[in-house]
Amino acid sequence: MERLKEEALRHVKEKILPFWMKLKDEERGGYYGYVDYELKVDKEAVKGCILNSRILWFFSNACTCLKDTAFLPYASHAFAFLKQHCLDLEYGGLYWSVTCDGQVEDGMKHVYNQAFAVYALSSYYEVSKDPEALKLAWDLFQLIEERGKDEGGYLEAFERDFVTPAGNEKLSENGVMASRTMNTLLHVLEAYTELYRVTGDERVKPPMLAILDTFAKRVYHPERRRQEVFFDKDWNTLIDLHSYGHDIEASWLIDRGCEILGDAAVTQPMGEITRDLADCVYKRAYHNHSLWNECEKGVENKTRVWWVQAEAVVGFLNAYEKSPERGEYWRAAREIWEYIKEYVVDKREGSEWFWDLSDGGQPESRKPIAEPWKCPYHNGRMCFEIIRRLE
């Protein structure tokens, strides 16, 4: 355990942090939004607002977890860009993306995007004590609660006015168009957990409880031992899909939400669900010291995706902490970390992690090393969670 913690600490300090620090855009603000497979930085690329929020979260947590305020200027740089360019002062909420110089590129409002800003701003407030960051977090919380949900639960995409519904291409995949998604719901919970942890404000508790109830009654499928992924407005599932990465991620994020709530009446039943999710993923998707991606209509996708491996380390470490008699979870966490070091980490100087690998362990897709979805959130958080849990 001590070796794993030391290696995670060294990895985040020597590999992940330096890569993202060098993408700081000193001229136009924020961080450069694209690094291709050949490690060429595109300084004219679109800057995704989700990427900016995740970078804000990452540097904020680097300060708190590593107990080093040297990273605060990097977090403050992302915060300044969020305030000045990502935030819509007319209609409220964050745009989906902006141009390299901060002009609106895609003005749609997505609940998932707002949630990541709440998540990041809460973490940034914790380390900076900047009241403006907390105010923005509360403003976005109110927007989500007032405009981002209906009587059935949380919605997805809106036009710039944050009133008119829009197509949900951003969070729909596998040939479906979803009115509600497990993914958005999970990350609203994640954001609210961080806001509640940092502030202790009881206003966050009722929606957190409602989200957990929705997971238990609508999202979790006890017979299939998995979460459903894409839904219509009435919570009917749209596709036979088992997302292994999201299930192992949810298994620990839901536990974290219950821990912060501190309500035994919720923790016990949700804990049984998260045990089931982790156990099912272990038995179905853990192969050759790594995790498969997903299973659609019975067909396994064996691609090894960067974020899935990172979440698997944390998810199995969390499962082992809950059930120490299940030593296979501890072995899985260790072995996936070894797989990450050997195959997922790009050993080229000045790079970070490959996006994905073939079943044989090769980065055949040659996808970018950084872009609006490829961020320091999953792998950085994996390191922080290892460090925190093994202290």
- pLDDT at position 273: 98
Class of domain 2-389: mainly alpha
Q: pLDDT tens track of the chain, all 391 residues? A: 999 999 999 999 999 999 999 999 999 999 999 999 999 999 999 999 999 999 999 999 999 999 999 999 999 999 999 999 999 999 999 999 999 999 999 999 999 999 999 999 999 999 999 999 999 999 999 999 999 999 999 999 999 999 999 999 999 999 999 999 999 999 999 999 999 999 999 999 999 999 999 999 999 999 999 999 999 999 999 999 999 999 999 999 999 999 999 999 999 999 999 999 999 999 999 999 999 999 999 999 999 999 999 999 999 999 999 999 999 999 999 999 999 999 999 999 999 999 999 999 999 999 999 999 999 999 999 999 999 999 8
C-alpha–C-alpha distance, residues 93 and 86, integer Å = 8
Question: Do the Cβ atoms of 99 and 47 come closer than 8 Å?
Answer: yes
Assign 3-state DSSP to the chain and report helix, strand, coil percentages, each to 5.
55, 15, 30
Q: Per-domain residue ranges for the chain?
A: 2-389
Reported pTM: 0.98
pLDDT digits (tens, 9 = 90+) for 308-359: 999 999 999 999 999 999 999 999 999 999 999 999 999 999 999 999 999 9
Write the CB contacts of 50 (distance below 8 Å, at least 6 apart in sequence): 96, 112, 113, 116, 372, 373, 375
Write the CB contacts of 374 (distance below 8 Å, at least 6 apart in sequence): 306, 355, 367, 368
- pLDDT at position 241: 98
